Amino acid sequence: MTDLSKYIREVPNFPKDGIQFKDITPLLQNPEAIKEAVAQFLSLIGDEKIDKVVAIESRGFLFGLLLAEKLNAGFVPIRKPGKLPAETYAEVYDMEYGKDTLEIHCDAIKKGERIILHDDVLATGGTARTACNLVKKMGAEIVQCNFLVELEFLNGRNKLNSYAVESLLKY
């Protein structure tokens, strides 16, 4: 099994001092690593029937769409405000400084659909939690939240404690 950790580059002090950024672009350059990551995600999902993969802007889109294709599911983007063209639902959340908002198209998910929520990195969990709130408000079922990288010391999974959470690499 390919060790995916060697394809994650740590960039100190990006985007600001004190943040150790987990850069997934080396992984994206390597076709074997891409295949391995997709295979590991699929094995964590097992034989669950999935209707939609919902992924968070922007790095969540990369593996989110690959997973959707493999799962024979649809793909739904969650985006920063003002990016989605049609009618949206929005959810505001607290950031370190001030507030931010995530949006989803109102017609993107139907009641009762079975969802995978995906992003590249789980840090404090605020972003993923907000995305889950949007999906839940639309009446869908979150089967699993999954991430390439989890920063365990930030306890993000505590914010997602009503959902199954999986990550390929833990730091």
Point out the residues that are catalytic.
59, 96
CA atoms of 20 and 120, how far apart (whole Å): 15
Of 115 and 128, which has the nearer Cβ to ligand AMP? Answer: 128
Residue 142 touching ligand AMP (CB under 6 A): no
Closer CB to ligand AMP, residue 48 or residue 90? 90
Angle between helix axes 60-70 and 31-45 (nearest 10 degrees) is 60
CB of 93 to ligand AMP, least distance (A): 8
Checking DSSP bridges between strand 52-56 and strand 74-78, what pairing results, if any? Answer: parallel
By CB under 6 A, is residue 150 in contact with ligand AMP?
no
The CA distance from 4 to 36, in Å, is 8
- Specify the pairing of strand 9-12 against strand 20-23: antiparallel
- In the complex, minimum distance from the CB of residue 20 to ligand AMP, in angstroms, rounded to a whole number: 6
User: Given the rule CB under 6 A, which of 20-28, 63-71, 110-118, 135-143 is the region that contacts ligand AMP?
Assistant: 20-28
- CB nearer to ligand AMP: give 56 or 168: 56
- Is 156 a binding residue for ligand AMP by CB under 6 A? The answer is yes
Residue 33 main-chain phi, psi, to 5 deg: -70, -40
- In the region spanning residues 115 to 134, those forming contacts with ligand AMP, defined by CB under 6 A, are 119-128
Burial of 17 (0-12, 13-18, 19+ CB in 10 A): exposed
Asked if 20 interacts with ligand AMP (CB under 6 A), we say: yes
Q: Which of 7, 22, 27, 77 binds ligand AMP (CB under 6 A)?
A: 22
Strands 165-170 and 74-78 come out as unpaired
